[in-house]
Structure 1
């Protein structure tokens, strides 16, 4: 959801996070990644304006903050 919300392409996100495009694909498929890798990807999204929302009973989510 965060990648779509920011308009980042898979390769663009991978380049900004300094990981392989395959790593991004694995994340999107729900495969397990190292916590440090997830933190790096999350930081890229947060710099792009994404706010990660906690599960409110309907599931976790994201929103893009106004810049």
Structure 2
């Protein structure tokens, strides 16, 4: 599963604003802010998945935890 720091980093990589990502994911801006903050108020797993999918459509690839730490990167563009 994608964590809050990956969501925040992915949005920064895309250059999209919180309102833009929230709209693309079908969630409210306050919900996106909670998801990116990773604080005590939990966000539903389905919501995290919707946000992650919106960021993937924007060109982000999520890198799973594999001993080196989870991360994000932009997908390679096909030529």
TM score, norm. by length of structure 2: 0.76
Displacement of 1:58 = 4.1
Q: How many residues are treated as equivalent by the alignment? A: 67
Aligned counterparts of 2:59 and 2:67: Cα–Cα separation in 1: 24
Aligned counterparts of 2:69 and 2:36: Cα–Cα separation in 1: 16
Corresponding position of 1:10: 18
4+ residue segments displaced more than 4 Å: none
Displacement of 1:54 = 1.3
Aligned counterparts of 1:21 and 1:42: Cα–Cα separation in 2: 15
Corresponding position of 2:64: 54
Q: Structure 1: which 5+ runs fail to align?
A: none
User: What SS does structure 2 have at the residue aligned with 1:13?
Assistant: helix
Q: Structure 2: which 5+ runs fail to align?
A: 1-8
Displacement of 1:56 = 3.4
